[in-house]
Structure 1
Amino acid sequence: MSRRKAPTKDESALLPPFAALPDSAIHVPVSGDDFEHARTALLQARVLGFDTESKPLFQAGAKDTGPHLVQFATCTDAWLLQMQYPQTFALTREVLGNAQITKVGFGLDNDRHQLQGRLQVEMQNVLDLDRVFKRHGFGSSTGVRAAIALVLGQSLRKSKRVTTSNWSNEQLSDSQRRYAANDAHAPAMVYAALAAWEAKQPPPPPQPQSAPRPDAATPWTTPTDGS
Structure 2
Amino acid sequence: MRSTTKMMEDRDLLLGKNVSTFYDDPVHFVKGSGVWLWDAEGRKYLDCYNNVPHVGHCNERVVEAISRQANTLNIHTRYLHDGILDYVEKLTATTASSLDTAILTCTGSEANDIALRMAEAMTGKRGIIATDATYHGNTSLVSQLSKSNVPTVGFGLSQFFRFVEAPDSYRRPDPDGILFANSVATQIAALEEDGTGFAALV
User: TM-score over 0.5 for the alignment?
Assistant: no
Higher relative CO (CA 8 A, sep ≥ 6), structure 1 or 2? 1
> What TM-score bracket applies, with the shorter chain setting the length?
under 0.3
Query: TM-score of the superposition, structure 2-length normalised?
Result: 0.26
TM, length-normalised to structure 1 = 0.24
